[in-house]
């Protein structure tokens, strides 16, 4: 089984759990709102967005409800099945379309070009070189369009704090050069971590950086909801500090994720 097939199968197996993670999770809700804010600052409602790694359609539905037209893509058929169910449940068939397609095959994307290309919560961290995707963006992105990607950097302060509990592997796993072996639902595949400067270098001179923001710099990692639910005052204080540090260097590259928004503005016709 190839890595692509393994990833598709792993996320198909976890589709139900993925949706359950959203329930009663104010922390994850806060993170998603910050991503949507990036999108809304650069794409007017009614704009057309291509979503890579759309998963079960959580973001596609939320953005469609804000007035955007979404083409949601993923390689997991089970994830996409749940996405289609959400689209029907909320009556968004006219605003959300779904396609089984890899981000490494943008030449197969339907309905191009788009005003923006979105990828949320580290879906693109499953390949070693983002230029494979970036080189294909002109096939799906209009001139002046934007790219908003949420990626995992090599430094996560909250994970590093696991050293205090003796969990050395978790604390330093992002420091490893190259592939980091990860597992989900009993299946193993490679994950790669990219710093913001490295990612921006891949984009090259045809793109200009509009915004860069760390995500969960001081607050827990995205999968954690216990602190927000059990100790809301402590969580609110951390979130307040997080908001004030997340756009400053080097904090924008020290979170569980970072949000990078670039504009496609080629210097050569």
Domain span at 230 = 3-153+193-264
Residue 102 lies in a domain: yes
Q: How many domains does the chain have?
A: 1
Rounded to whole angstroms, how far apart are CA atoms 144 and 130?
20
CB 139 within 8 A of CB 169: no
> Residue 269's pLDDT is what?
53
> Residue 170's pLDDT is what?
87
What string of pLDDT tens digits covers the 269 residues of the chain?
557 778 888 888 887 778 877 778 899 999 999 999 999 999 999 999 999 999 999 999 999 999 999 999 999 999 999 999 999 999 999 999 999 999 999 999 999 999 999 999 999 999 999 999 999 999 999 999 999 999 999 999 999 998 988 988 889 899 888 899 988 888 888 999 999 999 999 999 999 999 999 999 999 998 888 899 999 999 999 999 999 999 999 999 999 999 999 999 997 55
Residue 124: count other Cβ atoms within 10 Å of its Cβ. Answer: 22
Residue 169 lies in a domain: no
Q: What is the β-pairing status of strands 69-74 and 96-100?
A: parallel
CB 53 within 8 A of CB 124: yes
Token pair listed for 39: 């999108």
Residue 225 lies in a domain: yes
Residue 168 lies in a domain: no
Q: Which residue has the tokens 């592939």?
A: 179
DSSP 73: E
> What CATH number should be reported for the domain holding residue 143?
3.40.50.150
> Residue 268's pLDDT is what?
58
| Nearest one of 13, 1, 5, 6 to 78, comparing CA atoms | 13
> Residue 15's pLDDT is what?
79
Provide the β-strand partners of residue 141.
Answer: 114
CB 54 within 8 A of CB 73: yes
How many residues are given for the chain? 269
Q: What is the pTM of this model?
A: 0.95
Residue 73 lies in a domain: yes
> Residue 257's pLDDT is what?
98
Rounded to whole angstroms, how far apart are CA atoms 34 and 252?
14
Residue 167 lies in a domain: no
> Residue 184's pLDDT is what?
86
Residue 239 lies in a domain: yes
Residue 201 lies in a domain: yes
> Residue 148's pLDDT is what?
98
> Residue 72's pLDDT is what?
98
> Residue 220's pLDDT is what?
93
> Residue 2's pLDDT is what?
57
């Amino acid at each position: 089984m190839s890595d692509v097939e393994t990833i598709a199968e792993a996320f198909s197996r976890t589709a139900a759990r993925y949706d359950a993670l959203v329930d009663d999770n104010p922390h994850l809700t806060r993170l998603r709102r910050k991503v949507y804010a990036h999108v809304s600052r650069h794409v007017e409602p009614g704009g057309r967005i291509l979503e890579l790694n759309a998963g079960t359609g959580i973001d596609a539905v939320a953005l469609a409800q804000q007035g955007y037209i979404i083409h949601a893509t993923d390689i997991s058929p089970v994830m996409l099945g749940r996405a289609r169910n959400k689209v029907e449940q909320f009556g968004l068939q006219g605003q959300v379309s779904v396609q089984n397609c890899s981000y490494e095959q943008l030449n197969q994307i339907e309905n191009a070009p788009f005003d923006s290309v979105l990828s949320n919560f580290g879906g693109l961290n499953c390949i070693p070189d983002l230029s494979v995707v970036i080189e294909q963006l002109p096939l799906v992105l209009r001139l002046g369009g934007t790219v908003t990607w949420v990626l995992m950097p090599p430094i996560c302060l909250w994970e590093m704090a696991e050293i205090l509990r003796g969990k050395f592997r978790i604390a330093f796993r992002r420091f490893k050069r190259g592939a980091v072996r990860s597992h989900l639902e009993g299946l193993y595949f490679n994950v790669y971590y990219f710093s913001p400067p490295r990612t921006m270098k891949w984009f090259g001179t045809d793109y200009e950086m509009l915004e860069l923001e760390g995500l969960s710099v001081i607050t827990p990692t995205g999968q954690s909801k216990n602190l927000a639910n059990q100790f809301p005052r402590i969580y609110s204080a951390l979130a307040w500090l997080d908001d004030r540090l997340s756009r400053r260097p080097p904090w924008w590259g020290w979170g569980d994720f970072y949000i990078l928004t670039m504009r496609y503005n080629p210097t050569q016709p």
